[in-house]
Amino acid sequence: MKVFGGGLLIAIGLLLAGGSGLCSMMVLFSSGEMSGFGMWPLVLMFGGIPFAAGVGLILGGRALIRSERRDVVDPGDTFE
């Protein structure tokens, strides 16, 4: 069950970090009056927080999957 939960966290984290990262890059590199590198503070404030949350979910899901694989008991060790 930990593997399923970890995979779910990774999937949600990828969607969250990917969506906010792509939107932030689009604001920074688009042309127009409200774009460009002068928008860094706003991009970091509005896009950086969801991006960091998504990366945190990815890392948490990865840790959950690794802990499950570490907890699996080898059946060969049972009778020794």
Q: Confirm if 47 and 23 have CB atoms less than 8 A apart.
A: yes
In order of 23, 63, 66, the CA distances from 3 in angstroms are 30, 10, 8
Q: What is the pLDDT of residues 45-72, one digit of tens each?
A: 889 999 999 999 999 999 999 988 777 7
**What is the average pLDDT across 22-49?**
83
User: In angstroms, rounded to a whole number, what is the distance separating the alpha carbons of residues 66 and 73?
Assistant: 14
Q: Is residue 33 over pLDDT 90?
A: no
**Band of pLDDT at residue 1, cut at 50, 70 and 90:** confident
SS (H, E, C) 7-55: HHHHHHHHHHHHHHHHHHHHHHHCCCCCCCHHHHHHHHHHCHHHHHHHH
Q: How much is the pLDDT for 2?
A: 86
